[in-house]
Structure 1
Amino acid sequence: MTILVTGASGHLGHLVVDALLERSAPASDIVAGGRSVDKLADLAERGVRTVALDYNDPETIAAALDGVDSVLLISASEPGKRYAGHKNVIDAAAAAGVSKFVYTSVSKATTFDWPLGAEHKATEEAIAESGLPAVILRNDWYIENYTADVQRAEQSGVITSSVGDARVAAAARKDYADAAAVVLLGDGHIGEVYELGGDVAVSYDDIAAAAGEVLGREVSYVRISRDDLLAGLAGAGLDAGTAEFVASMDDGIRGGVLADTDGTLARLIGRPTTPFVDGLRTALGR
């Protein structure tokens, strides 16, 4: 069984390849695709076949799919420009007749209305319409998403947000990568939609406390209004459209889109998910 991991030059994709190898998948059975083959050099040194793959270049997708049985489509990183590239991969995989198609979506993609979920919802719908034998992995937030906030807090002592008292079931990228590897290698997952999150949903007060523990200083969470957030983003030079998108992210989090956790991720990977403070420490190299 040959597995294509798209986006392998990115953080999550590279970790998925690592996880496949850790689970004794032969390197010769893994194809790592990315826009920059140079960034895949360390994987090539381990025996993984590396290929150029650009979601917006159908020729590279078709070439990467040659001889492939299973595909992991890791969602593109640029909001607002993802769907067309995703559709190219879906169409090519359907034409190639792959036996398993796995997609990394986002929490509640089809049931919660927020801008971040729109392209994921459209992608899930396209996968369903394609008839591909598919598995959907709806990933909650990454602990690593808070790295920049914590780095700023090292100087300021505060983490600010307009999410109010929201909770987030964050897990480490490695946890989600392990889940993808399990699904790619295992049987019985076709047709499943897995809502994946950390074992514990943390509040932003919890996040500030974890930041303080890692940084060795007091860090507090400061609640701000949506208007204050927009004003701050404008002051930082963001255009109105980008600022509104960022504010909408907080709206969704405040509305609970990332709050739910039922242990599915831990059950898939066969271990507890990474505690928030440990994931933060690793992300910061502390």
Structure 2
Amino acid sequence: MGKIIVSGASGHFGHAAAEQLLDKGAQVIALSRHVDKLADLAARGAEVRYADFDDPASLAEAMKGGDKLLLISTLRVGSRVQQHRNAVEAAVANGVKHIVYTSVIGGGLAEHPGVEQKDHYNTEQLIMASGAAWTFLRNSLYAEAVATAMAIPALLAGSKPDNAGHGTVAIVSRDDCVAAAVGVLTQEGHENTAYDITGPELLSVPQAVAMISDMAGKPIELQHVDDEGMYRYFDSLGVPRKASDIVPDGPIPWASEGMVTFGQSIREGLFSVLSNDVERITGRKPRTLKSVLEQHKGEWPQ
């Protein structure tokens, strides 16, 4: 199996992936800017290394000795392609033979309205040109985001503005995304393949919100708005519109253009993708949105 490098190992996805790889007996090199958060992985035998995707010198050291790299997309929409390029170049220069990348549904489309998708598309292209074998895990909308970031404000306000219309998306649990990544990294035959990592059913945002409302026993008024109306809503919260307007280390580390164009992409049918790739890779059926909502229901306002 060789040594597997896991980037972003202090984040939810990376930490869970590193734990599961260790469970399978893999040799893990765990990377993070916050190595103090990796003590539990080090205690289990992982090599823990400092890595900053904005610092190519740190990456040259961090990537040594690895055979495979789980490249977890960074969070800085609009400027992360260069971060990914730095990581890929350092990995290939150090002999990494296979790069597994967490992309997004539609990541292979050259024409797409989504700001986030453009980052993923450009990253996929540079990985394919790197000379390493590749696997793209094109993840759908996280069910955990629906259960928390969507559900909690909607329940507090009793309403939710939304620009996704009645477009559908196969909402997927992050648990299944992690399991698929671990499967690809520990099994044979996944090189130079792209997978659509989706949940088991296509749902619209109105259907998801209705499910939340029913489970909470509280009404939520879904307000259908156009893209500009969605921008105005985020403006009212003080969210910058563009990634270039984000204040470094400020209170809001994301921009509304990513959210608005994500909703637009759902409305235009670009997320209406349903696949059985999770079950093919992991041997188990993906979790339903309802099961994830039930898991997080205790975090909802009473």
- Give the TM-score taking structure 1 as reference length: 0.92
Give me the whole-angstrom Cα distance separating, in 1, the residues matched to 2:215 and 2:8.
30
How far does the alpha carbon of each residue in 1:82-131 deviate from its partner, in whole angstroms, 9 at most, with x for none? 11110011111111122221111111112151221111111111111111
Amino acid at match of 1:217: K
| Distance of 2:185 and 2:124 partners within structure 1 | 18
C-alpha contact (below 8 Å) 2:66/2:95 kept by paired residues: no
Matched residue of 2:137: which SS?
A: strand
**Partner residue in 2 for 1:154:** 155
State how 1:1-286 maps to structure 2 within 5 Å: 1-22=2-23, 24-26=24-26, 29-111=27-109, 112-113=111-112, 114-146=114-146, 147-241=148-242, 242-285=255-298
* CA-based RMSD: 1.8
**CA–CA distance in structure 2, aligned partners of residues 245 and 192 of structure 1:** 26
Three-state SS of the structure 2 residue aligned to 1:159 is strand
CA, structure 1 residues 185+285, in 2 after alignment: closer, same or farther (shift >3 Å)?
A: farther
Aligned partner of residue 281 in structure 1, secondary structure: helix
Q: Post-superposition shift, 1:255?
A: 1.2
Structure-2 separation of matches of 1:10 and 1:148: 17
Q: Distance in 1 between matches of 2:171 and 2:107?
A: 16
Deviation at 1:263, TM superposition (A): 1.1
- Deviation, 1:25, is 2.1
* Letter paired with 1:267: R
CA shift at 1:215, angstroms? Answer: 2.5
Which digits, 9 at most, give the CA deviation of each residue in 1:63-95, with x for residues without a partner?
A: 222221111100111101211110011111111
Query: In 2, are the aligned partners of 1:199 and 1:266 still within 8 Å (CA)?
Result: no
SS in 2 for 1:101: strand
Q: Distance in 2 between matches of 1:10 and 1:181?
A: 15
SS of 1:56's equivalent in the other structure is coil
Distance 1:186 1:52, change over 3 A: same
Unaligned 5+ segments in structure 1 are: none
- Structure-1 separation of matches of 2:73 and 2:258: 18
In structure 1, what is the Cα distance between the partners aligned to 2:290 and 2:256? 29
- 1:78, 1:281 → 2: CA distance? 30
**Residue type matched to 1:275 in 2?**
T
Moved more, 32-41 or 111-120: 111-120
Identical-pair percentage = 31
Q: Secondary structure of 1:130's match? A: coil
Residues 1:240 and 1:105: Cα distance change in structure 2 (over 3 Å) = closer
* CA deviation after TM superposition for structure 1 residue 213, in Å: 4.2
Moved more, 84-93 or 239-248: 239-248
Letter in 2 for 1:66: K
Distance in structure 1 (CA, Å) of the matches to 2:128 and 2:298? 40
**One-letter code aligned to 1:69:** D
Residue 40 (structure 1) shift = 1.3
Measure, in 1, the Cα distance between the counterparts of 2:189 and 2:99. 13
Range that drifts further, 228-237 or 208-217: 208-217
The answer to which of 188-197 and 93-102 deviates more is 93-102
Aligned residues: 283
Letter of the aligned partner of 1:74 in structure 2? Answer: I
